[in-house]
Amino acid sequence: MSGRWSRPRLRRAAQSILTEALAAADPATLVRRNLRRRRGALEAAGIRFPTGGGRIVLVAAGKAAVPMARAAEHVLGPHLSEGMAVTSSEADSGGRVRVQTASHPVPDARGLAAAREAEKLAQGLGRKDLLLVLLSGGASALLPAPAGGLTLRDKQRTTGQLLRAGATIHELNAVRKHLSRLKGGGLAAAAAPARVITLILSDVVGDDPSTIASGPTVPDPTTFADALAALSRRGVASRAPRAVVARLEAGARGETPETPKPGARLFRRTATRIVGSNRLSIAAAAREARRRGLRPLVLTTRLEGEAREVARVLVAILRECVETGRPAAGPVCLLAGGETTVTVRGAGQGGRNQELAVAASEALAGFPAPAVVASFGTDGIDGASDAAGGVVDDHTTARAAALGLAPPGVFLAASDSRNFLGPLGDLIVTGPTGTNVVDVVTLLAGSPSGTGL
C-alpha cells in the first residue's frame, strides 16, 4: 500500500490535478455558459437585452480575449455589429471581431492604438446600444490610455519599476487606474448612456472587479492618495517619472478629478459577472484529487506574499499533516490558489511559481514521507522565463547535488529559479494557455512508511 504513493505516483497525480484545474478555466466554455440568446433577447450577467433594438458592440481584452470573443461571436451571430479583441499572443483574425496583439505586462504602442480604438467604439454608442466587455488577465497592460499630460513611456517606466519592486496586483492597479482614461470606470464613462455588460475571467486574488483589469467598467474605490502610497511603499516614488508623481500629487490635493466612485450615476446601466476564477479551478483540482484517492484540503484561494516565504509555510503545513494527521490525514493533497510576489534580487531567470518550487525543495529536504510540491501559473507564463512553473519533491536537493548544481539558496539569491529546475527536468512548460486565473499550488504526500521509490 505504501508504494502506491511513491514519488513518481505523486508526481503523476500532481500533473493530473493541475491539468483539471486548467481545464476548468477554459474561457470559451465559460463565456458560452454565461452568455445566451433566448426569445429575441440576449441574457448576460442577469440582464436581458432585446436583440434588434440597438447595436451590440464587443470589446475583449486580456490573455483569454480571443477565445472569449470567438465564443461570444458564436452566441450572438448576426446580432453582433462589430468588435475588437486585444491579446498578448499571436492569434488569427476573422469574422466581426478584429484581433490585435500588444505587450504584457509592460504596455507598448500597439496597446495604445488598441485602447484608442476601444475608446472610440464606446464613445460611438447611444442609449439603445449595448457594449459587451470581456475581460481576462493582462487586460490592464493591453489597453493603456495615458491620462492627459502623461506619455506611454511614463506608464511603461512606472509599471516596470513597480513590478521589479514586488508590487501586488492591487497596488499596481491602484496606480494604473489613476494614470489612465479607461481604467477605474473610464470605459463605462466613455460608453454612457449605453448599457454595459461585462463578463470577467478573474486573474485577481479575491475576485474584486475593481482590481481585475484595473476595473474599466466598474466603480473605483481607490484614490490618488492610495496610488501615491503604493509608490512610496515600494520605494518607487523617488524614481518614477516626474509627470506621474506630479499627476498623483495633484489628484491627492483635489486638483484633478477622481475616478468614478461607487454610487455614480453612470453605473446604473452597467452589470458585471465573474464567470471564471481561481476558486472554480481549485474546486476542479480537488475533485481530481479525490478521484485519485487523495484527501484534498483547500487551504486558500487568497494566497499572497513573498513566494519563498509562502513555500516554507505551505511545506510546514504539509509536514504537520504527515506527522499528526492535522489539519488533514494522509494520503493528503493540499491546494492553494492566488498570486505570490517576488522581490527581484538578481539578473537570473524565473518567476514566482518557479521560485516557490525552488524554496519548497529546500523545505522538503529530509521530509518524513514521499512528497511533491507543484506550482503553476495558469496563463502558462511565469515571470522572465519560458516556463509556467515547477515541480519538486523530497529528493530534489539530493538530485541537484548529484548533478553538481549549487544549493537552492544560491539560485534564489540570484532570482534564477529557472536554471535550478531546468537541468533537473522539473520545469512545467506549457506555452501560453489562452486563459488566466492566477496560480495553482498543490502539495501531496504519502505515508511516512512509504518507500518513496
Which residues partner with 97 through β-bridges?
A: 83, 94
* DSSP conformation class of 407: P
Pairing of strands 371-377, 389-393: antiparallel
Instruction: Decide if 443 contacts 314 (C-beta within 8 A).
Output: yes
Report the mean per-residue pLDDT for the chain: 93
Q: How confident is the model at residue 144 (pLDDT cuts 50, 70, 90)?
A: very high
Contact (CB, 8 A) for 57 and 99: no
CB 297 within 8 A of CB 283: no
What average pLDDT does range 311-324 have in this prediction?
A: 97
pLDDT for residue 304 is more than 50: yes
Q: Does domain 2-22+279-445 have CATH number 3.40.1480.10?
A: yes
**Nearest alpha-carbon partner for 64 in 181, 180, 213, 194:** 213
Which pLDDT does position 179 carry in this prediction? 96
- pLDDT tens-digit profile of 318-337? 999 999 999 998 899 999 99
Q: What is the mean pLDDT of residues 70-89?
A: 94
Average pLDDT rounded to a whole number, residues 350-369: 97
What pLDDT band is residue 450 in, cutting at 50, 70 and 90?
very low
Give the DSSP H or E segment for 401. Answer: helix 396-402
**Which homologous superfamily is 26-276 in?**
Glycerate kinase, MOFRL-like N-terminal domain (3.40.50.10180)
Per residue in 22-45, pLDDT tens?
999 999 999 999 999 888 889 987
**If pLDDT is split at 50, 70 and 90, which confidence band does 1 have?**
very low
**Pair type for strands 35-38 and 41-44:** antiparallel
SS3 203: coil
First to last CA, the chain: 13
Query: Any idea what DSSP says for residue 385?
Result: S
Q: Are strands 82-87 and 56-61 parallel, antiparallel or unpaired?
A: parallel
Inter-residue contact 18 to 285 (CB < 8 Å): yes
Q: What's the whole-number mean pLDDT along residues 216-241? A: 96
Number of residues assigned to the chain: 453
- Mean pLDDT, residues 63-74 taken together: 95
Q: Where are the domains of the chain?
A: 2-22+279-445, 26-276
Tens digit of each residue's pLDDT (9 = 90 or more) over 145-182: 999 999 999 999 999 999 889 888 889 989 999 999 99
Compute φ and ψ for 343, nearest 5 degrees.
-85, 110
Q: What is the mean pLDDT of residues 1-20?
A: 88
